């Protein structure tokens, strides 16, 4: 946990040093440096002090020793792996017999796609990376398949904006083949065409109420008839995610003076993602699988918070808002489940 806190401090120092170093393209330089730093912390961790990772290494060895068809159709006792992930492992096994290659590859994809999307769409790159480290990064260290699927889905934002459905669908289906929960990302493409006005919010509220009334029945059927029925016995989702997403949403609306009818492009996409995540987190409160599903939309805060700060015109207010947000997410990072599942985090070369 201390190393991950150090990682956050180093990222902030990286940005300060880059700004004072006089780089011609500080944003690009920072994202490149951030990628290499985060990749080291993500890829070269000790897998045997983290949940799930020992199982990933064992499964890689099983897939390496058996045929692709056997691994997909027959599978292995106690192992639930989608065909896309099995195929990735089989391809990697052609080049390396070292099971750690799955961690290296996953880290490259996850960290690489986040850094690329932040470079491309964030209005305050250092803040987006900071939010990433405080929220998504910790769980992505060991929940490899879903977080790879999330990163791939995030990379389809340009296709949503440019209305390239076929390309969007193909990439998202590939993400589903890695982790089936990625199917929850498909609605974003269709709601992007909606106009954002007062009627939109009333419809969103009505949709939230309907989802809340039907969520128990729908979620129970969905997860009882899938590989993820074990989630049904897990601790239920609380309202923490709803509180975070709704606060980010309200902050953005306040910073925009509630004038968002002309939103377009990626900013509109991230706003709609935050809306979807808020609705889903409220509708699925008390039901464990909700925590998994809303992660795909929760990542919108990495972009919406910087957009909101940029919409504030008063410099002191901007600084104050940024300070409050940094403090709030640091508290979030050092509290809750983070302190439990990351407490033994260590790097391989520091053992």
- Pair of tokens at residue 308: 């909101």
Distance CA 203, CA 3 (A): 45
For the cut 60, the answer to whether the pLDDT of residue 230 exceeds it is: no
The whole-number pLDDT of residue 225 equals 56
Distance CA 303, CA 118 (A): 8
Q: Are 52 and 144 in contact (CB under 8 A)?
A: yes
Look up the domain containing 78 and give its range: 1-142+337-351
The whole-number pLDDT of residue 304 equals 96
- Chain segment 145-166, per-residue pLDDT in tens: 999 999 999 999 999 999 999 9
- Is 225 among the domain residues? no
The whole-number pLDDT of residue 246 equals 92
pTM of the model: 0.91
- Is 221 among the domain residues? no
239 closest CA partner among 199, 278, 194, 198: 278
- Give me the half-sphere count of Cα atoms (radius 13 Å) on the Cβ side of residue 132: 31
18 closest CA partner among 101, 98, 125: 125
Q: What is the mean pLDDT of residues 34-63?
A: 94
Mutual angle of helices 301-311 and 240-255, in 10-degree steps: 30
Give CA separation, 250 vs 242, 245, 261, in Å.
12, 9, 15
Q: What is the mean pLDDT of residues 270-295?
A: 82
Distance CA 227, CA 38 (A): 31
Q: List the single range of 19-23, 104-108, 128-132, 213-217 with lowest mean pLDDT.
A: 213-217
**Counted domains in the chain:** 1
- Is 93 among the domain residues? yes
57 closest CA partner among 84, 81, 36, 38: 81
- Is 330 among the domain residues? no
341 contact partners, CB below 8 Å, separation of at least 6: 50, 51, 138, 139, 142
- Chain segment 178-196, per-residue pLDDT in tens: 999 999 999 999 999 888 8
Backbone angles phi, psi at 285, to 5 degrees: -60, 135
- Is 243 among the domain residues? no
The whole-number pLDDT of residue 288 equals 65
For the cut 70, the answer to whether the pLDDT of residue 224 exceeds it is: no
Q: Are 208 and 115 in contact (CB under 8 A)?
A: no
Distance CA 59, CA 115 (A): 28
- Chain segment 288-343, per-residue pLDDT in tens: 667 788 899 999 999 999 999 999 988 999 999 999 999 999 998 888 666 678 88
The whole-number pLDDT of residue 201 equals 76
For the cut 90, the answer to whether the pLDDT of residue 60 exceeds it is: yes
- Is 191 among the domain residues? no
Q: What is the mean pLDDT of residues 196-203?
A: 78
Residues 324, 38, 138, 7: what is their CA dihedral angle, to the nearest 10 degrees? -50
């Amino acid at each position: 946990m201390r190393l991950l806190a150090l990682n956050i401090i180093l990222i902030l120092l990286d940005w300060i040093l880059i700004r004072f170093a006089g780089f011609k393209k500080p944003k690009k330089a920072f994202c490149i440096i951030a990628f290499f730093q985060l990749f080291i912390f993500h890829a070269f961790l000790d897998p045997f002090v983290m949940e799930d990772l020992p199982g990933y290494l064992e499964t890689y060895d099983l897939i390496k020793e058996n045929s692709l068809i056997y691994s997909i159709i027959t599978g292995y006792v106690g192992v639930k792996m989608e065909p896309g992930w099995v195929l990735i492992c089989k391809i990697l096994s052609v080049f390396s017999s070292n099971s750690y290659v799955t961690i290296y590859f996953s880290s490259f994809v996850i960290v690489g796609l986040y850094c690329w999307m932040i470079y491309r769409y964030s209005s305050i790159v250092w803040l987006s990376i900071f939010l990433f480290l405080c929220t998504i990064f910790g769980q992505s260290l060991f929940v490899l398949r879903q977080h790879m699927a999330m990163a791939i889905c995030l990379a389809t934002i340009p296709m949503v904006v440019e209305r390239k459905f076929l390309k969007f669908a193909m990439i998202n289906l590939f993400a589903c083949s890695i982790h089936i929960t990625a199917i929850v990302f498909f609605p974003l493409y269709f709601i992007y065409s909606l106009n954002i006005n007062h009627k939109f919010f009333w419809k969103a509220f009505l949709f939230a109420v309907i989802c809340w009334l039907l969520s128990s029945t729908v979620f129970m059927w969905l997860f009882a008839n899938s590989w993820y029925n074990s989630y049904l016995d897990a601790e239920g989702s609380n309202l923490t995610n709803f509180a975070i997403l709704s606060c980010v949403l309200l902050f953005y609306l306040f910073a925009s003076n509630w004038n968002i009818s002309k939103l377009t492009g990626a900013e509109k996409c991230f706003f709609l993602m935050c809306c979807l995540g808020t609705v889903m987190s409220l509708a699925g409160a008390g039901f464990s699988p909700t925590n998994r599903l809303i992660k795909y939309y929760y990542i919108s805060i990495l972009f919406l918070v910087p957009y909101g700060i940029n919409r504030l015109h008063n410099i002191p207010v901007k600084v104050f808002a940024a300070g409050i947000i940094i403090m709030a997410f640091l508290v979030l990072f050092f509290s809750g489940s983070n302190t439990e599942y990351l407490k033994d985090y260590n790097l391989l070369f520091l053992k």
